[in-house]
Amino acid sequence: MRTFTDKDKRGLLIALRVMFRELNNERISGTVGARLIDKVINYKISIDKLLNRFNFERFKNAAGDPEGVDADKYVDYLIDASDAKKLAQEPEWYDQKNGFALTVKAVHDFYLEVSGKGGKWDLPSAFTNLGKAIQSYGLHGIMSSKLIDEVLQKTNPENGELTFFSFVAQIINDVDSPYETLKENIEPDVEPEPDEAPTEQFEGPQEPATENEERPEDEPYPEEYDGAGFESIRLVQTDANEIKKKSLRSVLGYFTANELIGIVKTIDGGMDMTIDEVLDRLATGQFDVQSEDMATREVHRQINGYLTQDFIDCAHVQCHDITEEDAAEYDILYESWDMREPNTRKMHKLLKLIYTEGKDDPDLMDAVNDIEKLYSQKE
């Protein structure tokens, strides 16, 4: 029978946050999230049902009133819902058009939270491998800290770390000797029902490959280049300042103009700036904290509280394991959210220029690998 460790619980909370942030624009606090995960475990709700985005859509449609839709009520719905299904029981559940990328992201972030190691995940082969693993063992089977430890011990990588890509590949490739933890975790009815199974065997998104040609994009995240940890490609496209600015734009909407005026006055020339310019200054810490009066300091403190979860998520994107207790030590509004090493930051800026301005230039695109190798040698 499946048992859940404290690591499993923390990882599941991260995965649930990923799902609800995307589907419902909802932030789940640590306290509420811990209670929900305990309820999921106590009521024996399958992870395959919990993280099934189609179940959430059914619940949302049945609720009718958008105000009545949140993670708490969703979990209550799953306890007795007769129409709730496991992910692999849904038609074309593995299709990216049906939101499979969200599932991959949730599983990846679970893995990162549990193991501290990420790696590339948004590759065609990563989607294919995870789809096969889900169909064979279910999310309930593979999202397990004990399984991660078992695979790590068996593979014994040279650097002692196992990327997400390698973890999933190992599960589906080692079919002759399934891991003991998988045997314990797997649920007997994880396979799709006959009348709901896809008409073709799942293969996931495929791309034609030239015969005898190696496909480096399908290889595990190279160990010699860690960069900023997982999702380095996404950080190239969206840096930490942009993440912070986006979060600020949402959070400041909770305050009145009267409450925010003190913050704006701490920016040199802030009262004559547009809202977008103010957000730019706040995102980059270009304001004078020392000039805050008592009322403004309190608003500053409240803003930090609202920003906490997004700050933690941004840190995780950069492979920094920060808890809510750790975040309390930061002045989240004032300090930079960019935790990358200087060389990694320079490399990402160069790659961003190439991806945005030079993507049609074959020479520049060929230079991407050279730039990555050059900066990885400097770390």
148 and 252 both lie in a single domain:
no
Query: Residue 63 is encoded by which pair of tokens?
Result: 């609720």
Q: Contact 190/137 with Cβ under 8 angstroms?
A: yes
Residue 342 lies in a domain: no
Residue 205 lies in a domain: no
13 and 154 both lie in a single domain:
yes
Among 1-10, 320-329, 336-345, 370-379, the least confident range: 370-379
Query: Residue 57 is encoded by which pair of tokens?
Result: 């859509």
Q: What average pLDDT is seen over the chain? A: 78
Residue 17 lies in a domain: yes
123 and 52 both lie in a single domain:
yes
163 and 253 both lie in a single domain:
no
163 and 306 both lie in a single domain:
no
For 90-159, give the DSSP string.
STTTT-GGGTHHHHHHHHHHHHHHHHS------SHHHHHHHHHHHHHHHHHHHS-HHHHHHHHHHH--TT
pLDDT at residue 293 in the model = 94
Residue 283 lies in a domain: yes
Range of the domain at 178: 6-80+98-185
Among 35-44, 156-165, 198-207, 336-345, the least confident range: 198-207
Whether the pLDDT of residue 78 is over 70: the answer is yes
247 and 175 both lie in a single domain:
no
Residue 295 lies in a domain: yes
- Mark which of 169, 185, 201 sits at the end of a domain: 185
Q: What total number of domains does the chain contain?
A: 2
247 and 319 both lie in a single domain:
yes
Q: What percent of the chain has pLDDT over 90?
A: 35
- Mark which of 140, 170, 185 sits at the end of a domain: 185
The string of pLDDT tens digits covering residues 297-330 is 999 999 999 898 888 878 876 667 788 888 889 9
167 and 102 both lie in a single domain:
yes
